[in-house]
Amino acid sequence: MVLILGGTAEARRLAGELVAAGASVLTSLAGRVARPRLPPGDVRIGGFGGCEAFAQWLRSVDVRAVVDATHPFAERISASAAWACPAAGVPLLRLERPGWRERPGERWRWVPDLPAAAQAIPSGARVFLTTGRQGISAFAAVSDAWFLVRCVQAPDPPLPARHELLLARGPYALEGEGELLDAHRIDLLITKDSGGAHTEPKLDAARERGVPVVVVRRPPRPEVPTVATVREARTWAIAQALTQGR
Ligand code: NAP
């Protein structure tokens, strides 16, 4: 069986491709979202209980390979996998989509984390905040700006005093993103460097309108063999399953 640590579009695609290739696949989800998009194959939901418990779990099931296809900002589960897989003797591959790059005509400011993003907001700004549900509290003390907060699921308080909540799930299209920026007179976009095509149109819409962007850098990752595409991860996982099945 191949274990995919999921929660991303790439993880779902990989599960689909491996199932289509005849592999036995178990996708693990954190359980953060009430109605997650489920991938093909088997699914388990919930944390493992830390790295040691994860290693123990790996020893108790017939997992031939683990693909960590979690989001680039899901630091803890990736660190846990980087510890648990070698401890349990299970090969681990990281599938991570490339980050976004600033293009000509864009006005990006890179910051190391969400508190730094909050500090980068000019007084009176109208902000489109797309950093996700977790960590919104970093913006709660910003009282001299207005926020359009977009998340899949309602965030826990505290939230910024002046905000509107928009519950939505990507992928998003350029036209809709442009309409949002215009309708709310947005003059600053804040995003994580999530990468990928699903949420990229907001950057295109900001570029078209000359709206500056604050981009939160990815956190450091553990040193694990890494690929950038589902195709490479699929090839690796099938090779691992076959090699170890002999
Ligand atoms: P995190 O901080 O790295 O994880 C916190 C804890 O949640 C982990 O220690 C682990 O619990 C559990 N966990 C996380 N991902 C898991 C998985 N795939 N399977 C089983 N347990 C998991 O992660 P996060 O930032 O809260 O993200 C949670 C999930 O949402 C991830 O799977 C990620 O792919 C997805 N996601 C995250 C973001 C983001 O911006 N962070 C965006 C989109 C999707 P234990 O220690 O108990 O094992």
Q: Which residue has the higher pLDDT, 32 or 70?
A: 70
Task: Kindly tell me if the per-residue pLDDT of 246 is higher than 70.
Answer: no
Q: 165: which strand partners? A: 149
Tokens of 211: 């709206």
- Ligand 1 atom nearest 48 alpha carbon: 48
Phi, psi of 195 (to 5 degrees): 75, 175
Q: Smallest Cα–Cα separation from 191: which of 182, 176, 208, 204?
A: 204
How far, in Å, is the centroid of ligand 1 from the Cα of 73? 9
Task: Give the pLDDT of residue 222.
Answer: 94
Residue 10 pLDDT: 97
Please state which of the ranges 10-14, 30-34, 79-83, 114-118 shows the lowest mean pLDDT.
30-34
Which segments within 90-234 are labelled E, that is strand?
92-95, 108-111, 126-129, 146-151, 163-167, 188-192, 213-216, 226-227
Which residue among 43, 77, 131 is best mutated to probe the pocket of ligand 1, counting the most ligand atoms within 8 A of its Cβ?
Answer: 77
* CA 77 to ligand 1 centroid distance, Å: 6
Q: Please give the share of the chain, as a percent, with pLDDT higher than 70.
A: 99
Q: How far is the CA of 76 from the centre of ligand 1 (A)?
A: 7
Give residue ranges with CB within 6 A of ligand 1: 5-8, 28-30, 32, 47-50, 54, 70-71, 73-77, 80, 132, 134
| Rounded distance between C-alpha atoms, residue 202 and residue 108, angstroms | 13
Quote the pLDDT of residue 241: 84
Residue 174's closest CA among 199, 195, 192, 152? Answer: 199
pLDDT digits (tens, 9 = 90+) for 180-213: 999 999 999 999 999 999 999 999 999 999 999 9
The pLDDT confidence band at residue 245, using thresholds 50, 70 and 90, is low
Contact between 28 and 5 under an 8 Å Cβ cutoff? The reply is yes
Interatomic CA distance for residues 127 and 108, integer angstroms: 14
| Residue 7 Cα: closest atom of ligand 1 | 34
Question: What is the overall mean pLDDT for the chain?
Answer: 96
Instruction: Tell me how far the alpha carbon of residue 237 lies from the centroid of ligand 1, in angstroms.
Output: 21
Residue-level pLDDT at 91:
98
The residue whose C-alpha atom lies closest to atom 32 belonging to ligand 1 is 7
Confidence at residue 201, expressed as pLDDT on a 0 to 100 scale: 98
Q: How far apart are CA 189 and CA 111, in angstroms?
A: 13
**pLDDT tens string 85-138:** 999 999 999 999 999 999 998 999 999 999 999 999 999 999 999 999 999 999
Which of ligand 1's atoms lies nearest the C-alpha of 11?
34
- Three-state DSSP class for residue 112: coil
pLDDT of 34 reads: 85
**Four-CA torsion 80, 83, 86, 92, nearest 10 degrees:** 40
Residue nearest to atom 38 of ligand 1 (CA): 71
In the chain, what percentage of residues exceed pLDDT 90? 94
The minimum-distance atom of ligand 1 relative to the CA of 50 is 46
pLDDT value at position 105? 87
Mean pLDDT of 52-68: 97
Give the pLDDT of residue 244.
62
